[in-house]
Amino acid sequence: MADRLAGRTVLVVGAGTRPSPEPDAPLGNGRAISVACAREGATVVCADLDGEAAEATAALVREAGGEAVVVEADVTDEDDVARMVAAAPGLTGVVVNAGIGRGGGLRRTSADDWDATLAVNLRGPFLVARAAVAAMVEAEQPGSLVLIGSLAGLQPGSRLPAYDASKAGLIGLCRHVALEGARRGIRANVVAPGLIDTPLGRAATAGRPSRGETPVPLGRQGDATEVAAAVVFLLSDEASYITGTTLPVDGGLALI
């Protein structure tokens, strides 16, 4: 176990992984991030709407030598968000990984699709950031928030207008949190994955096979451990002078 996050408590919102029938299914981003934080010495609060998925992640955190707490909660609910943060005394790190995508093009996206997507992808991160910043002011160590966005927030590509808009909005939210938090020693950044091999990514490719043929400059999809490595860096003191930025983890896809 390394020690870049030793003695810290990290809340991972969306810590579970979508169930998959594949026996060799890859980790989702939230699960990989939780395990990576544990390997760096953090106590990890695993929060997810799916309690069983959060428990499975917590088991992997413990296998990695870390301590884990499980919270079953809805990121769109203010009271649930308060419970998440209360379950993480001494909170110094927050990762918001919750996200959904609904609809399909403007004509096939209903108002309900739009509202549901923005509730999870933008309202939820706002509620978490608001509660977490208030809690981290009390901590002895500087705090860091990492919002998991998407390359779709930087350029069109998902073909889901609500998803693209929510991920672009997440970057705007991050900038505000970073500016307001700076005077309190609290940093905020976005990690924007590109094509990542996760259960959710495989489901997206099954629905749109052309997704898997995207010409990524590095010649392959990424995996969740590569997203997790970027997150751990931004949570750690190694990134102590980085705030308000968006870090693509995309194999160069933003270049084309």
Residues of the chain above pLDDT 90, percent: 81
In the chain, where are the structural domains located? 9-255
DSSP the chain: ---TTTT-EEEEET-S----S-TTPPPPHHHHHHHHHHHTT-EEEEEESSHHHHHHHHHHHHHTT--EEEEE--TT-HHHHHHHHHTSTTEEEEEE--------TTTT--HHHHHHHHIIIIIHHHHHHHHHHHHHTTSSS-EEEEEE--GGGTS--SS-HHHHHHHHHHHHHHHHHHHHHHTTTEEEEEEEE-SEESHHHHHHHHH-GGGGG---TTSS-EEHHHHHHHHHHHHSGGGTT--S-EEEESTTGGG-
Q: What is the pLDDT of residue 1?
A: 54
* pLDDT at res. 23: 74
CATH number for the domain running over 9-255: 3.40.50.720
Task: Indicate the pLDDT class of residue 156, thresholds 50, 70 and 90.
Answer: confident
pLDDT at 246 over 60: yes
113-140 mean pLDDT = 94
Supply φ then ψ for residue 139, to 5 degrees. -75, 155
What's residue 20's pLDDT? 75
36-78 residue pLDDT tens = 999 999 999 999 999 999 999 999 999 999 999 999 999 999 9
Mean of pLDDT over the chain: 93
Q: Lowest-pLDDT range, 157-161, 193-197, 218-222, 224-228?
A: 157-161
The DSSP result for 99-145, as a single string, is ------TTTT--HHHHHHHHIIIIIHHHHHHHHHHHHHTTSSS-EEE
The catalytic residue among 14, 27, 163, 188 is: 163
Residue 241 annotated among the catalytic residues of the structure: no
* Mean pLDDT score, 79-84: 98
How confident is the model over 83-110, as pLDDT tens digits?
999 999 999 999 999 999 899 889 999 9
